[in-house]
């Protein structure tokens, strides 16, 4: 059995990559104000709410995301969504998770250039995403 050692090496490599996957959250694509081609700007001082979509893909079933676990903000721990719906916001055939968030809850200030999101699927797997954001109205 000259193949023995080779097989053992392959198995060890598989075990390593599985462990790495378990420790790392799945990356998902998110979009502020989906369908709006304008600048992704937010003005925390004006209040109001903003839609943020978690985009589904062949690698991520947005319907498996648990909306109540999702947090958004500069570090992805700040705001909870107060409403969520499942719809295909970018019309690519994959269902997306559309969240409505109160802008002040995001705790963005002018130094922030990125909005982060983190959450869990209904089966307990972590996912996270980030997208550029322009914060206005704080001068
Ligand atoms: Ca979609």
Cα 42 to ligand 1 centroid, rounded to whole Å: 23
- pLDDT score, position 39: 87
- pLDDT score, position 6: 57
Cα 96 to ligand 1 centroid, rounded to whole Å: 5
Cα 4 to ligand 1 centroid, rounded to whole Å: 46
Fold (CATH) for 27-135: Immunoglobulin-like (2.60.40)
- pLDDT score, position 13: 58
Q: How buried is 37 (Cβ within 10 angstroms: 0-12 exposed, 13-18 middle, 19+ buried)?
A: exposed
- pLDDT score, position 37: 86
Q: How many C-beta neighbours within 10 Å does residue 133 have?
A: 21
Intervals of the chain under pLDDT 70: 1-23, 139
- pLDDT score, position 93: 97
Cα 45 to ligand 1 centroid, rounded to whole Å: 31
Q: What is the pLDDT of residues 48-81, one digit of tens each?
A: 999 999 999 999 999 999 999 999 999 999 999 9
């Amino acid at each position: 059995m000259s193949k023995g050692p080779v097989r053992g090496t392959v198995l060890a490599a598989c075990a390593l990559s599985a462990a790495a996957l378990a420790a790392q959250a799945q990356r998902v694509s998110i979009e502020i104000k989906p369908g709006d081609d304008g600048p992704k700007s937010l003005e925390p001082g004006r209040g109001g709410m903003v839609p943020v979509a978690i985009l589904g893909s062949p690698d991520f079933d947005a319907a498996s995301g648990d909306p109540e676990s999702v947090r958004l903000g500069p570090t992805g721990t700040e705001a909870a969504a107060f409403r969520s719906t499942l719809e295909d916001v970018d019309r690519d055939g994959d269902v997306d998770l559309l969240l409505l968030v109160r802008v002040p809850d995001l705790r963005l200030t002018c130094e922030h250039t990125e909005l982060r999101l983190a959450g869990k699927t209904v089966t307990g797997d972590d996912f996270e995403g980030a997208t550029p954001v322009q914060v206005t109205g704080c001068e």
